[in-house]
Amino acid sequence: MKCLILISILVLSACSSTSKISTSSDIANIMNLIALTEEKAPNGIKGTFQLPIKAAGVQRGIVYLNTETDYRDRRNITIALHPKLIDAFTKKYGSSPNSYFLNKTIEVTGEAKRMKIYFLSKGKITKKYYFQTHIKVSSLSQIKVLS
């Protein structure tokens, strides 16, 4: 009887901690990927990555999907969708990718690469910059929604 109670407690405690582990592992995976891109710079890391999309924006025809609400956040990874992909995506799914992917977890295949982003002042590039991790997507087959 004592053994049955002990096993029940262990099983229930393992089930309750599973969701917490997956959430923190998402953050750990993102930070590990960012660290790897820094280590491998100027080269990138090729692979398939699962990322939560918390924000999106459009600039010069490119749709940017971000893992953080602030795209300048050190913990952010940006998925850049090529302008030619936008029309094909909208025709296939009936929605723009910047609204379709918002608040979803995606799987993206490509190369994660550290990019230097320069600040602009009055439309001109300054000497100030920061780094972002980008994954460029140019084909619908590179990206899909998991949840």
Query: pTM of the entire structure?
Result: 0.79
CATH 2.40.50 fits 44-147, yes or no: yes
Distance CA 26, CA 105 (A): 10
Per-residue model confidence as pLDDT tens digits over 74-102 = 999 999 999 999 989 999 889 999 999 99
Per-residue model confidence as pLDDT tens digits over 26-73 = 667 899 999 999 999 999 999 999 999 999 999 999 999 999 999 999
